[in-house]
């Protein structure tokens, strides 16, 4: 299996773009999260998935490589899906369209027209991240 493992020291457009153009796609899109990666080219998983979408993969292809495929690689058949009885681990994204820039570890850039923005994260059925308050009532509802 080929895993991206984007961190602060390993991910270069100079290698990734020609590989993708030649049909060599990663099986898994993952990160090596630490202070140097989140403050440089990696940023977060939504940014990493967006990078790959702007290099030619579809949203379905990046989601597969960040959910189901990694679960299979680590032999965790209980993860990476939303079947009945599975733990509810869900990421809710908004697909933004516009002009965006994406960096690699060499501090080179590609332009893109799509970016995923994390709206909400649900871990084991509980909301743990809610960017725009989608999971809570408006303040006026307390007085009705």
Q: Specify if 121 maps to a domain.
A: yes
Per-residue pLDDT, 131: 97
Per the structure, the count of domains in the chain is 1
Q: Is 140 exposed, middle or buried (0-12, 13-18, 19+ CB in 10 A)?
A: exposed
Task: Decide if 95 contacts 81 (C-beta within 8 A).
Answer: no
Which residues, in sequence order, are CB contacts of 94 under 8 Å at separation 6+?
116, 117, 119
pTM above 0.85, yes or no: yes
Per-residue pLDDT, 9: 79
Beta-ladder partners of 127: 122
Q: Is 117 exposed, middle or buried (0-12, 13-18, 19+ CB in 10 A)?
A: middle
Per-residue pLDDT, 17: 97
Per-residue pLDDT, 29: 95
Task: Decide if 100 contacts 126 (C-beta within 8 A).
Answer: no
* Spans in the chain with pLDDT lower than 50: none
Q: Specify if 4 maps to a domain.
A: no
- Four-CA torsion 55, 103, 7, 69, nearest 10 degrees: -20
Domain that holds residue 130: 13-143
Per-residue pLDDT, 144: 67
């Amino acid at each position: 299996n080929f895993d991206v493992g984007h961190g602060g020291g390993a991910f270069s457009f100079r290698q990734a773009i020609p590989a993708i153009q030649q049909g060599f796609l990663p099986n898994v899109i993952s990160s090596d999260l630490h202070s140097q990666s989140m403050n440089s080219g990696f940023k977060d998983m939504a940014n990493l998935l967006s990078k790959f979408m702007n290099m030619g993969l579809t949203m379905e292809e990046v989601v597969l490589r960040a959910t189901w495929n990694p679960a299979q690689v680590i032999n965790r058949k209980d993860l990476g899906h939303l079947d009945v009885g599975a733990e509810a681990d869900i990421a809710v994204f908004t697909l933004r369209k516009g002009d965006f820039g994406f960096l690699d570890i060499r501090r080179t850039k590609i332009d893109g027209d799509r970016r995923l923005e994390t709206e909400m994260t649900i871990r084991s059925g509980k909301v743990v991240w809610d960017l725009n308050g989608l999971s809570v009532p408006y303040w006026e509802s307390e007085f009705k």
